[in-house]
Amino acid sequence: MRKLSLTLLTVVLLHLFANAQGTSAELDELNTPSTPAFTILGLSPTDVSRPTLAKPFLMDLANGLDGKSIASDIAIETAPFWWFPQHELTFEKYYGLDTASSFHVLDYVQQSFSFSLATNDASPDIDSIDSRNIAFGVRFQVLPGKPSQAFKTNYNYGLKRKGLLENTLDDLIYKVEEDEIQSLEGLNNSIATSVENIISTHQTSLPESTADWLTEEVVEVLQTYSGDFEKTKVLDFLNAEKLKVGSSINAQLIEMETLSKVGWMWEFAAAAVLNAPTNNIEYTFGQDWAVWSTLTYRLDSKEGSANFNDFNLMFRYGGNFQDDQTFNTDIGLSWALSGNNHSLTVEGVFRNYTTYFDIEGVDGNVYETSESEATWRLALAYQYRITDYLNVALTLGKDYENSTLASNGFFSLLNLNLVLPTKQELALKH
C-alpha cells in the first residue's frame, strides 16, 4: 500500500467535506450493525458513534499521512449516494409510504452502500514499536425495513401541518397583494380570519385545537418580521417563510431517523485489514479479511420511547492473507438495546476454523484433506455516550482465543466515526 493512495483518499474526503457544508438536516443511513472496518478490527460489537467532525480534524489527518505516519483510533464512513441532493426522492418513496410507487432492490443497495476506514494501535504491550492496523470495509442493504408506527404518525401529522400553515400564509399573501392588508396591525388582525377560512374549507374534519396551534404558529412566524410595512418587503418575507415550512418538518422527521425503520433488515458487508508494522504507510501487508451477512429484526418501539431492540443473526466467512490454507466460518446471534446515548449488547458467536492441506496416499497420489477446530465468543458490551466525542465503554466475556475478555475505559477517539456532512433533504409530498 503506497503513501499516495492513502493521502489521495484523505484529500478527496477533505474536498467532499468542504463542498458538502450546509445547514440542511442530515439523514443518517448508517444505523444498521457496526461499521465493517470497525467490526473486523474487533473494536466494538455494537454501534459506533458517528459525530460530524470539524474540518481541522481532516486537516490533521492529511498532515499525518504526509508525514508517512497513520493516526490511530479513528473511523471514517461515508455513503456516496448522499453526497449530492436527491431532489426526486421523497419521504413517501424512501420509506415505502407510497404504495403506488415500487422500489427495486438495486435502489436499496444504491442508497445504503457505504465505504468505511478505521485504524487502531497494533503494538503489543511489551513492544515499543508504534505499529498500526488499517481496515477498509464496504456494506449495503438489500432489505431496509419498514417505517415505524411512530414515524408514520409523525409524517402524516407533518403533512397536515405543512398544508394548513402554507395555505394560511398563502391567504395572507393574497390579502397583501390585493391591498386588503396595508399595515402591520392589519396583518396581525387578519391572522384569525385567515386561519378560520383555511379550516372551514378543509375537506376533512379537524380537532378543535387546530385553530389554536395554527394561529400560534402563524403569530410566531410574523414575530420574526422586522421593519415597517412595505408591500414588497412583506410579500418577500411571507413567501420566504412559506418555503421554510417544509424544511422545518423535514428536520423534525430526520431527527427521528433512528426510530424510523423497524421489521426485517438484511445487510451484506466485506472488510480487510492491512498492517503497518513500523507505522509507515509505505510498508504494509495484508492480514485478516472477511465477508458477512447480517439479518436483523427490529421491534417497533413503544409510543414515546427512544429505545429500540435489535435481534441479529450473522453469517461470516473469513481468512488471512498470510495463510491461504486456513479459513473461519462464523455463526452469531446478538441482541442490542439502544437509546439516544447508550447501548447494551449481548453477542454470541460460534467459530469453526478449517485448515486445508495435502497428504500423499498409499497409492502415491496427493489428496486434499482438512481439519476443523471449533471455538466461541460470548460478550456483554455496554456503551454510554457522554458527548459526541466522549464515550464510556465496558466489555466482559470470553473471546475466541482467550478464556476471558474484559476491557473498559474513557476515550475520546476510540469508537469515533466520521460521517461526512451531506446535502440530502428528502421532499415532502407536494
pLDDT of amino acid 266: 93
Considering the domain architecture, whether residues 397 and 300 belong to the same structural domain is answered as yes
428 belongs to a structural domain: no
Considering the domain architecture, whether residues 182 and 268 belong to the same structural domain is answered as no
| Alpha-carbon separation of residue 172 from 106, 164, 178 (angstroms) | 45, 13, 10
Of the residues 226, 254, 282, the one at which a domain ends: 254
41 belongs to a structural domain: yes
The H-or-E segment that residue 39 falls in is helix 36-41
Considering the domain architecture, whether residues 246 and 371 belong to the same structural domain is answered as no
pLDDT of amino acid 149: 82
pLDDT of amino acid 59: 52
Q: Please give the Cα distance from 255 to 112 (Å, whole number).
A: 18
Contacts of 388 (CB under 8 A, 6+ apart): 49, 51
pLDDT of amino acid 73: 65
Of the residues 254, 285, 320, the one at which a domain ends: 254
Nearest to 35 by CA among 111, 117, 109, 141: 117
Q: What is the identity of the amino acid at 68?
A: K
191 belongs to a structural domain: yes
264 belongs to a structural domain: yes
pLDDT of amino acid 69: 64
Task: Count Cβ atoms below 10 Å from residue 107 Cβ, excluding itself.
Answer: 15
130 belongs to a structural domain: yes
Beta bridge partners of 394: 382, 408
Domain total for the chain?
2
Considering the domain architecture, whether residues 182 and 277 belong to the same structural domain is answered as no
Considering the domain architecture, whether residues 77 and 168 belong to the same structural domain is answered as no
Considering the domain architecture, whether residues 113 and 229 belong to the same structural domain is answered as no
Contacts of 222 (CB under 8 A, 6+ apart): 187, 188, 191
Of the residues 212, 238, 254, the one at which a domain ends: 254
Considering the domain architecture, whether residues 22 and 116 belong to the same structural domain is answered as yes
- 219-247 burial, b at 16+ Cβ within 10 Å, e below that, comes to eebbeeeeeeeeeeebeebbeebbeebbe
179 belongs to a structural domain: yes
Considering the domain architecture, whether residues 274 and 388 belong to the same structural domain is answered as yes
424 belongs to a structural domain: no
Nearest to 400 by CA among 322, 312, 332, 326: 332
How many Cα neighbours within 13 Å face the side chain of 340? 7
Considering the domain architecture, whether residues 210 and 177 belong to the same structural domain is answered as yes
DSSP secondary structure letter of residue 229: -
Residues spanned by the domain of 300: 3-148+260-419
Residue pLDDT tens, the chain, 430 long: 444 344 333 333 333 333 333 333 333 333 334 566 556 656 553 334 343 343 444 554 554 455 556 666 666 777 778 777 777 777 777 777 766 666 688 888 888 888 877 777 776 554 556 778 888 888 999 988 888 887 788 788 888 888 888 888 899 999 999 989 889 888 888 888 888 888 877 655 666 677 788 888 888 888 888 888 889 999 999 998 888 887 777 766 666 555 578 899 999 999 998 888 877 777 778 888 999 999 999 888 776 666 778 899 999 999 988 888 999 999 999 998 887 788 888 888 899 999 998 888 888 888 888 899 998 888 888 888 777 656 677 778 887 766 655 444 433 333 333 333 344 455 555 4
Contacts of 44 (CB under 8 A, 6+ apart): 34, 38, 381, 383, 393, 415
Pairing between β-strand 366-387 and β-strand 390-398 as defined by DSSP bridges: antiparallel
Q: What are phi and psi of 318, to 5 degrees?
A: -150, 175
Considering the domain architecture, whether residues 243 and 143 belong to the same structural domain is answered as no
81 belongs to a structural domain: yes
Considering the domain architecture, whether residues 191 and 271 belong to the same structural domain is answered as no
Considering the domain architecture, whether residues 377 and 394 belong to the same structural domain is answered as yes
